[in-house]
Structure 1
Amino acid sequence: MPTDIEPLARHPKATRPGEKIGLHHSMCYGCGDEAPVGLRITVVAGEGVTTTATMKVEDWMQGGPGVIHGGVLSAAFDEVMGTTPLLLRKPVVTGHLAIDYAKPIPLGSTVHFTCEILGGVGRKIYTRAYAHLGDPDVLVAGAHALFIEIDLEKHFAGYRDKAVHAGE
């Protein structure tokens, strides 16, 4: 993280604390409720620039015998940490994501995430998140990431027409 990082403040029109942050689209692998297969993560706004989230670990998420695949957990962290900048009313894409895996996560468990925005420099937004299985003092993983603020229309120009939508 750079030394010139600046604190970032919640946008006055951001989702209120305790409320679910809305889907960016229904077919999103991370949060979409219409995606045929997906994580179905619910991200809830916290105080300031923080969020919490939960994800049920389903059988299809298996990596090693009886535990979640590390790549699935990586996608979950990416979803939670990439949703949190919406509290700033800034759409972002992932620039860098690093995860420290601490303990295996059994199938059938519920992973709880906490995330905070550490600050930013220009278009760069830095976040940190932790995961546990119900006891916040017993972490199963932690992550930090860099997200880059984008102009949605410019960034996805040429891709929207190729997007797959439910019911087509």
Structure 2
Amino acid sequence: MLYSTQYASPLGSLTLASDGKSLVGLWVEGQKYFGGTVTGDLSEKNDLPVLTEARQWLDAYFAGKKPAISELPLAPTGGEFRRRVWEILCEIPYGGYTTYGAIAKETAARMNKKSMSGQAVGGAVGHNPISIIIPCHRVVGANGSLTGYAGGISKKIQLLELEGIDTSNFFVPGKGTAL
């Protein structure tokens, strides 16, 4: 059984999902792949301890504090490759960012491979089922492109700016599949 609750954020309504012990999903309303890892129905349960903890974490985050990702029990659903990418996302510090290419290099190293496709990494980042907490918004293109945020580019910019990142050196691509 999976449980859910809603959270009113500066980005709009967020849906949080739990298996009862861990957080398994956090989606911005209308985001691409919304609920993509959920099989079955979500039962609303606002008083579930892990969902209460997640709402408190989000309160701190949106208040400009720097809550640690490790404060929450996370259980994102995905294959080994995606889980490796999501682990690397969790290592990007608050107020920092990295590129898809850098994550591809690190993923390849951790999986004992010669190289890894930046596009494959982009797919894993885009399918992150626990947005914001697993900080996929902290990934940009090597050329400064703000591409690839499933919650929408404007929300990605809001999150980066909330964390104190100067986004004036980044740009929104005019076209592409990851907008």
Answer yes or no: same fold by TM over 0.5. Answer: no
Structure with a larger share of its residues in strand: 1
Structure with a larger share of its residues in helix: 2
